[in-house]
Each structure stands twice: as C-alpha cells, then as structure tokens.
Amino acid sequence: MKNIYLDHAATTPTDKEILDEIIPFFSERFGNPSSVHTTGQDAMNAVDNARNTISKLLNCLSTEIIFTSGATESNNFAIKGVVKAYYAQHGKNAPIPHIITTAIEHHCVLDTCKSLEKEGLAKVTYASVNKDGLVDVEKIREAVKENTLLISVMHVNNEIGTMQPIQEIGNMLEELNKQRDLEGHKKIYFHTDAVQAINYVNCDVSKLKVDMLSFSGHKIYGPKGIGALFIKKDVKIKPILDGGGQEFKLRAGTHNVPAIVGFGHAAKRAQENKEKNDSIQEVRDHLIDRVLKEIPASYLNGSKEKRIPNNANFRFDNIEGEGLLLSLDMEGISASTGSACSSGSLDPSHVLLALGLRHEQAHGSLRLTLGKNTTKEEIDIVVEKIKEIVERLRKISGNVLSEFEK
C-alpha cells in the first residue's frame, strides 16, 4: 500500500540534502558557539551564516533575526516581550496596554493573549473574519484605541490557508502611527505569524511593514525544534527567558547548532520552493475541482482565490471528520481535520466556527495540504478513496439515524 502524505501544514520532511549538512554538527563540528576556542568559533560561524541567509529571505538585518525553539516560542516572545518592555518602561501601575488580534489565530497566539488578559497585564480585542476567513483592514483600524500597543495578525491561516492582507494592514498602521506620533501617542507595533507563509508568499518585512515576524524550520523542509523571530531594530522588547546572553541578550540558552544550520539551508531553498507554486497550485486545484464536482454536499472552507497554493480544506455534510481521517489513515493517506496541535481534541475548530459554521459542519472538515513533490496521480488516488469513505460513512450515519427514529 502506497503512503500518501497530505499534511504538509503540520510538518514537512527534512530534505535529504539539508540533513547531510546537519549531521557533522552533531559530531565532528560539535562546538558550543559561546566558547571562545576554535571549536566553538567554528560553530558560531555556522550560526552566523544561517542567520545571514535567513535575513536575506526576509530582507532585513542579520542582527534582527533571533533564533528560538520554534514559532510557538517566537509568538510568545513577540507578544509577551513587548508587554514586558512596556511595563519595564512605564512601571507596574501603568495603564493596561491593548492588543488587537483575530479570532482565527493559532492557539499559541490566542492562548498567549488570554494568559495576559487573565493576569491583568493586557486587554485584547479579537477581530472577527468574514465567511471566507479574511479580516477587514477597517475592522482592525476601528479596534485601535489610545492605549493600543500591538497588533498581531497571522499571514496565512494554518487550517484554511487564507492569506490575510498583511501589507494593507502594515500600510494602514504606518499612516496611523505617523498621526499618533504627532498627537504624542505611543507607536503601535505590528507582528505577524508567518509560519505557513514562508514557502509560498513573499515575506519581505520592509514591504509588509511589520515590526516582528515569526516562522519555523520544520514547515519549510528543515528540522523541527528551531524557529526565528524577526525583531525590527527599534522595537522595545524584553526577553521572556532568563539565563545567558545568547542571541544579542534577547534569548537565553545554548544554540541548537545542527537545527540552526538546517534552518539556514531550508531558508535558502525556500525561494526555490516558491518557484514551484504554479505546479503545486495546479495539482491542488485539480483536487478541489474533483472533490466538489464528484462528492455531493461537499464544500471548500475559506477563500478559493486568497489562499496559499498547497491548501485545500473541505467539509462534508453528515460526516464526522475524525471518522474520515482515521479511514484515510487506514488507506495509507495522512491528512488532518484541523491544526496538528489540536488533533487530539474533540472540540470543533475555532477557525471554522469563526467562519460562521455550525458545530456539526465544523466537525465534518478535512484539511489536505500538498507538498512540493505531490503528484496529480496521488491526488486521483486520494479523491477515489475519499469518495468511497464518505459514501460508506454516510450510509452508516443514515442507518443509525433510521434505527434511532424507529
């Protein structure tokens, strides 16, 4: 039985060439970058090379790249770090700062904001989205208050693949900050979680006009356990980890050199991956067209136009997503019902509920995310299997219902 992997939004396989670059840093080149001797400095040179490569991908200074353990830490650092810096500057009795985010962010953003609310350290507005999962720039503008400190909007949603108008928000905020400066108000920082965007969207931070940007290695065919946070040089931010002086005294902890090296090589190849966007989208559109045409009562969640090329998120009436997912897995097909971090939860996706779907509709969802090597032939196999499984599950559901009604 052929295994078909369609869960690239959860994680991607580390490219073999990247793995080959990593291996020496576990053994022959094992030094600690903080050591002053030759072995340590060899490791530091490797870290610096990776940082330079990543900075070129984002079009920023290399000193504006801070390595973390992944996007969850990066997002926590961005949000908690600026709040911590705010209180360090103004004192613990300062007016409570205001944060604006959206209702469909990854849980590591939402839970960070809720944690700050619970501790009484911030007030948060969770902007709604339309039925396609897109936020309105004007809604963000209208949510701004005198005490707004930070806006955090994800670049691409991890479940439905919709691309948010980050550049438009950046342009709006640039003009708004100019006015606020004249009025004597603090600058509002702009952060984006770009984890799902890096492989498919131009993340030039100067064009996006963001102050902070998070992403991770394992979503771009690099290793797990490594991420980065771009922090514009004028951002006032405090570390959230205490310890050594690594990462320009902003992130304590011994560098994960093998992962950083792999991250750098993955970033270098990310541009090559973007060049495959058209071919990936062609295969993805083939998937969408077949499913919607050949399976009754099937729907696409999110905008078809404003979504990254590899994402297809469906829902099926009278289907439990978990049953569909497990049945596909038995056929050797790896998929998801939502974000990988929530796969063990029976609660419906907060993203799909935010689109206005009912609980039972959200429960019938299936996320298929293609990779750079996914073929049309594989997609045809998957579609046939989905058709068979959906028909079988609906018959079971109908039979159970009929017996219950008797």
Q: DSSP for 227-267? A: EEEEE-TT-----SS-SS-HHHHTS-S---HHHHHHHHHHH
- Choose, from 60, 113, 203, 341, the residue flagged as catalytic: 341
Q: How far apart are CA 376 and CA 31, in angstroms?
A: 45
DSSP 333: E
Q: How far apart are CA 303 and CA 292, in angstroms?
A: 14
CB 21 within 8 A of CB 53: no
Q: DSSP for 23-84? A: GGGGTTT---TT--SHHHHHHHHHHHHHHHHHHHHHTS-GGGEEEESSHHHHHHHHHHHHHH
Take residue 128 and report the two structure tokens written for it.
């709604």
Q: Tell me what percent of the chain is helix, strand and coil, each rounded to the nearest 5.
A: 45, 15, 40
> Hunting for tokens 């904001």 — which residue is that?
113
> Hunting for tokens 């979504």 — which residue is that?
307
* 108 carries an active-site annotation: no
- 114's enclosing H/E stretch is helix 107-118
Residue 328: what residue type?
L
Please, which residues have CB within 8 angstroms of residue 177's CB and are 6 or more apart in sequence? Answer: 187, 188
Q: Taking the mean position of all CA atoms in its chain, how far away is CA 229?
A: 13
Q: How far apart are CA 254 and CA 206, in angstroms?
A: 30
Pairing of strands 148-152, 311-316: unpaired
Q: How far apart are CA 187 and CA 149, in angstroms?
A: 7
Active site residues: 341
